[in-house]
Structure 1
Amino acid sequence: MVPKGWEVKTLEQAKITVTDGDRGKEYPKSSEFFDSGYCLFLSAKNVTKKGFSFLDTQFISEEKHKKLRKGVVKKGDIVLTTRGSVGQFAYYDHTVNFENIRINSGMVTLGCSKSELESDFFYALSKSSLIARQIDSAAFGSAQPQLTVKIIKSLKLPIPPLVEQQKIAKILSTWDKAISTTERLIENSNQQKKALMQQLLAGKKRLLDESGKRFEGEWEERKLSNLGSTFNGLTGKTKVDFGSGKKYIPYMNIFKNTFIDTDNLDYVNVDVDEKQNTVQFGDVFFTTSSETPEEVGMSSVLLKKTKEPIYLNSFCFGFRLFEIDKVTPAFIGYILRSSHVRRKIAILAQGATRYNLSKVQLLKISIALPSLEEQQKIATVLTNADKEIGLLEQQLADLQQEKKALMQVLLTGKKRVVVDGEVS
C-alpha cells in the first residue's frame, strides 16, 4: 500500500530510459584503453556502494568514442552495474568533473529526462532497500550474478508527486552533505595522524617533558630479540573446537587494529588441563602470512588487563616483552605500525603466491626507543589523535544510520513532507 497521491510503477511505466553498453564489433580492445584521454570508459571498479570511484580509471580516444553506438552517460543519468557486483548505483551529477563518459557492457544507464521521476529522488530511491531487495531476488547466475534490461525495466517504484519528490530529495541531500563533510574530516584527520607518526616515531619532532623542556638525547636502537621472546598461538585445534568456550583473538582483529579490540573476540573450547599459551597485558601479536609482502607481519598490542584467560589464534604468534615496566606497550604498538618499521618487516616476507614471516628473522630487526617518559608522551599524543578519529567515525556511523532510518519512512510515504519543506 502507498499513501494517497502516490503510485507504484515499474521503471518502464515511469518512462525511465534504460540503455546498456555497446557490445558490437567496435567494443574497445585492451590495446585501445589509455591512462588518460578523451572519454572515460567506466568499469565495474568505478561504480561502488558509495557511488562513483575514480581512483583507477581508463580512457578511450575521441575516434573510438564516436564509433561506439550506445552507452554514453549524460548528466543526470544513473549508472547501474548488471554483471558481477550487480546492483551498484552511481549518479552523474554536478560533482563529477569528466565531460565524456561511457559505460562498458556490464552496466546500464538510467535516464530520467523523459520520466515522471526527478533524478535526485530516483537516485535516493535506487540506494534504498526497496530496490536492493528486488535486485537481489531477480539477479540470476551463481558464479557471476546478472541483470537483464527486461528485469531492470520491471523493477517497481513508489512514486509521489513531483513536488514531494523534490522535497524528499532535498531533505536527504542535507544528510548526504553532513556525511560527506564527516568523511572528509576523517580522511584529513588520518592524514594528519600519519604525518604526526612519521615525525614523532622517527625522532624528527620532539615533544616537551614535564618541566616544559623539549626532549633531547639519542634514541637507542634495540633488536626485538633483546626486548622480548615469541610464543605460539593455539595448537591441535580442529573446526569442531571453535564457536564456544574460552575467548581467543582472531586473525583479523590483529590485522586491522594497532591495539586489540577486546570487544571483538571469538571462542574456542580449551580443556582445564590443556596446555595452551594465554595472552597478557603488553603482549604484541604478529600475523604470520598474507597475500602480499606489504601486509606480512601486521602487529597489534593488547592494552587491557583481563581476569579471564584469552588465547591467540593459530595463524599468528605472540611476542612478550622481557621488562614491561621499561617500555610503553602503546608506543611499541605505534612504532611497529610506523612506515619505516613496516618496510623492515615487509622485506622479510618469503614466498611466491602467499608470503610468510619467519619469527627468527623478525627478532633480528631493530627499533629505536627514546626514554620511557618520551615514549609515554608520544603514545599519549597519538592515542588522543586516535580518539578524535574514533569520535568522527562514530558521528559518521550515527549520520548513516539516521539517513537510513529517514529513507525508510520518507521513501515509503510513512512520513510525509509538508509545503514548507519540513518533515511532518
Structure 2
Amino acid sequence: MTKTTNIQQDTFNVPKGYKKTPLGIIPKEWEIKRFKKLFSFKNGINSGKENYGQGIKFVNTLDVLSNNFMTYDSLRGSVVVTDNQKKEFAVVKGDVLFNRTSETPEDIGHASVYVDTQNAVFGGFIIRAHSLDNSIDIDFKKYCFATPSVRKQIVAFGNGAIRYNIGQEDIAKTLIALPPLPEQQKIAEILSTWDMAIEKQNSLIEQLELRKRGLMQQLLTGKSRLRKASGERFKGEWKKARFNNVFKVINIKNFQIPKSEYKETGKHPIVDQGQKTIIAFTDSENIFKNIPVIIFGDHTRIVKWIDFNFAVGADGTQALQTNKDNNLKFLYYLLFNTEIVNLGYSRHMRELKQKYFLIPPLAEQTAIAIVLSTTDKEIEIEKQKLTTLQNQKKGLMQVLLSGKVRVKI
C-alpha cells in the first residue's frame, strides 16, 4: 500500500490525483454511482407460518445482521415455496440483501452479500439487490456498503416511530464511490486477510469457552477433585446449603442512577442487570464501594463479577456477597453455572432463594476459583486480541474504501 497526502473531506485544496464529489474527495479514477444504476430491487416473500421450518433455505434479517456475507449452509431458516416463487424470489451468487426494518435507525439497511452457488430465497423483511452489470466485485461487496458515506445516506432515508423502515426507492437513491475493478479486488483481498484472522481468533475464543464450561461442569459438581499443594486430592463430602445460608443480598438501591443521567464517559462506571459489564458512566460520587460483589439480574438472570466501584443502573440489579466461611469468587462461578427457569420479565430472585447448593470446604472453593479465574484471564487476553484485530480492520476500511490510502495493483 502507498499512502496519499492526508485528505480533509471539507477542504477546498483538492490534492493532485483526486477530485471533489458529493461524497467528498476521492481518487480521480473512482466513480460515483447511484444504486439504481447498479441494481434491480425486490422485496421478499411472505408465507403462512405453516410453511416455515422445512423446504428451501431463506434469508432473514438475522442472517443479514450477523455477517457481511452468507452461504446456503449459514442460513438459519427454511420455507416451503412453489416452483414459481422459487424463481421469483431466488437469491443467487452475488446478490446483496438489505434488511428493510429495524428497532433502531442505526441497524436499518444493513447489507450482506450471498456468495454461494446454491440458490436460496429471501423473506419479507429483506430487500434483494440484483446486480445489473459487473461494476462491483463480489468480494468488494462484503465491505463497500458499510462505509460511513453509504451508511449515513441509508440511515437518513429510514423512517418510522416504533420501528424504522426503508423501501426500495430510498435504497435506490443511495450514492457509492467505486474504484476500478482491479483496485476493488485488491482492497477486498486485504480486508479478507483481516477477516480470516478475526475468524481464527473467534474460533480460539469459542474453544477456550467450551473448555471453561467443561471445567465448570466437572469442578463445580465434585465430579472431578483438584489436588492440594501437597499433591493429594481434596476429599470429603460437600455440604448441601440453602441460598440464605451461603449468600447475602446487599441493598444497593441508594446508589442507583436514573437512566436520564447516563453518560458515554464519566468518572465512574454504571452497572445494571444487562449483558454488558458496564452500561454507561456517571460523574456522581454516590457510588457503591463494598466490593467485590456478584451482580444478579432479577429480570434477566444474568450473573456478573464486579470488582470495581460502581453506580447502580436500572431496577432489578441485585448485589450478593457471602460470609468468611465461603469464597465469593467460587460462589460466582457456582451461581453462573446454576440453571434458573426463565419466567420472562418477572422477578427471579425468589426462584433463586429456593435453590440448594453443594458447597465444598473453603480451601477447595478457593482452589476451584483460582483454576476458573485463570481460564477467564486466558479468555480475556484472547478477546483483547480480537478487539485489536477488529479495530485494525475498521481503520483499514476507513482509509481503503475512501481512497485516502491507495493500494498497489
After TM superposition, the score normalised by the length of structure 1 is: 0.78
Query: Is 2:67 the partner of 1:50?
Result: yes
Question: Which of the two has greater strand per residue?
Answer: 2
Query: Is 2:107 the partner of 1:90?
Result: no
**Superposed CA offset, 1:180-220 (max 9, x none):** 11111112221111111111111111122101222222212
Note the 1:274-423 alignment, pairs <5 A: 280-288=290-298, 290=299, 295-296=300-301, 298-303=302-307, 314-323=315-324, 326-338=325-337, 341-343=338-340, 346=341, 354-358=345-349, 362-419=352-409
Return the match for 2:41 from 16, 19, 28: 19
Q: Structure 2 CA distance, aligned partners of 1:179 and 1:163? A: 25
Q: Structure 1 CA distance, aligned partners of 2:236 and 2:75? A: 43
Q: Structure 1 regions of 5+ residues with no counterpart?
A: 271-276, 420-424
2:321, 2:328 within 8 Å by CA — same for their partners in 1?
no
Q: Structure 2 CA distance, aligned partners of 1:220 and 1:200? A: 15
After TM superposition, the score normalised by the length of structure 2 is: 0.80
**Superposed CA offset, 1:364-412 (max 9, x none):** 5332222222212211111111111111111111111111111111111
SS state of the match for residue 225, structure 2? coil
- Read off the aligned partner of 1:29 and give its amino acid letter: G
Q: Structure 2 CA distance, aligned partners of 1:357 and 1:318? A: 14
Q: Structure 1 CA distance, aligned partners of 2:188 and 2:153? A: 22
Q: Structure 1 CA distance, aligned partners of 2:260 and 2:306? A: 24
Q: Structure 1 CA distance, aligned partners of 2:207 and 2:137? A: 34
In structure 2, the residue matched to 1:274 is: none
In structure 2, the residue matched to 1:233 is: 252
Equivalent pairs counted in the alignment come to 376
**Superposed CA offset, 1:220-266 (max 9, x none):** 222232235333222597849956999685323xx437xx76x9664
SS state of the match for residue 217, structure 1? coil
Return the match for 2:234 from 215, 223, 226: 215
**Superposed CA offset, 1:283-331 (max 9, x none):** 434333x2xxxx44x4444445x6xx967865334334232xx322111
Moved runs in structure 1, 4+ residues, more than 6 A? 309-313
SS state of the match for residue 405, structure 2? coil
Q: Structure 2 CA distance, aligned partners of 1:77 and 1:100? A: 10
In structure 1, the residue matched to 2:184 is: 165
- Per the alignment, do residues 287 and 226 of structure 1 end up closer, same or farther by CA in structure 2, a change over 3 Å counting? same
Return the match for 1:133 from 152, 156, 174: 152
- Read off the aligned partner of 1:4 and give its amino acid letter: K
1:234, 1:313 within 8 Å by CA — same for their partners in 2?
no
SS state of the match for residue 240, structure 2? strand
1:327, 1:375 within 8 Å by CA — same for their partners in 2?
yes
Q: Structure 1 CA distance, aligned partners of 2:59 and 2:365? A: 48
- Read off the aligned partner of 2:355 and give its amino acid letter: I
- Per the alignment, do residues 9 and 301 of structure 1 end up closer, same or farther by CA in structure 2, a change over 3 Å counting? closer
Identity %: 26
- Read off the aligned partner of 1:139 and give its amino acid letter: G
- Per the alignment, do residues 6 and 330 of structure 1 end up closer, same or farther by CA in structure 2, a change over 3 Å counting? same
- Per the alignment, do residues 209 and 406 of structure 1 end up closer, same or farther by CA in structure 2, a change over 3 Å counting? same
Q: How much is the aligned-residue C-alpha RMSD, in angstroms?
A: 3.2
Q: Structure 2 CA distance, aligned partners of 1:236 and 1:278? A: 6
Q: Structure 1 CA distance, aligned partners of 2:145 and 2:32? A: 14
Q: Structure 1 CA distance, aligned partners of 2:123 and 2:379? A: 38
- Read off the aligned partner of 1:74 and give its amino acid letter: V
